[in-house]
Amino acid sequence: MIYGVLYRKAEELGIKIHAAGNMENHIHIVASIPPKLAIADCIKNLKGASAYAVNHMEGSDGLIKWQEGYGALSIGERSLETVMAYTASQKKHHQEKAVMAVYERMEEEDYKPDRGD
């Protein structure tokens, strides 16, 4: 359901979603955003449309809202397939604890890189 809302809103805004993947507490979207649309406006519209849809579903308590802020990365054509595959496999990466910090919001206390100690 949420993907349908995201894809419809993206199409309305001229955004091409290449891939999307989620966990229970976050979602990743790989998208091409037209230059006329600011990233902040893109995120605002996608968050707004999806929260509205979920909050108006039958049985919803109407309390769903996205956290403030977002992360955005710019990728080149050579990285597109890799990032799309990573995004589509969110659940697997998190289950296996094989997340890539560059693609995930990592709190400092949660992320301790292996230093070979």
Amino acid at 10: A
Domain assignment of residue 110, yes or no: no
Residue 17: which H helix or E strand, with range? Answer: strand 16-23
Domain assignment of residue 26, yes or no: yes
Q: In the predicted model, is pLDDT for residue 92 greater than 80? A: no
Return the higher-pLDDT residue of 103 and 44. Answer: 44
Domain assignment of residue 114, yes or no: no
| Distance between CA atoms of residues 112 and 117, nearest Å | 12
Backbone angles phi, psi at 63, to 5 degrees: -105, 5
Residue 19 is part of which domain span?
2-103
In this prediction, residues 1-13 reach a mean pLDDT of 92
Domain assignment of residue 70, yes or no: yes
Q: How many domains is the chain partitioned into structurally? A: 1
Domain assignment of residue 109, yes or no: no
Q: Packing angle between helix 2-13 and helix 39-55, nearest 10 degrees? A: 140
pLDDT at 98: 59
Q: In the predicted model, is pLDDT for residue 42 greater than 90? A: yes
- Name the residue among 9, 29, 11 with its Cα closest to residue 21: 29
By mean pLDDT, which of 17-21, 61-65, 72-76, 81-85 is the weakest?
61-65
Domain with residue 49: its CATH number is: 3.30.70.1290
Domain assignment of residue 112, yes or no: no
Domain assignment of residue 115, yes or no: no
Mean confidence (pLDDT) of the chain: 80
Q: In the predicted model, is pLDDT for residue 91 greater than 80? A: no
Domain assignment of residue 108, yes or no: no
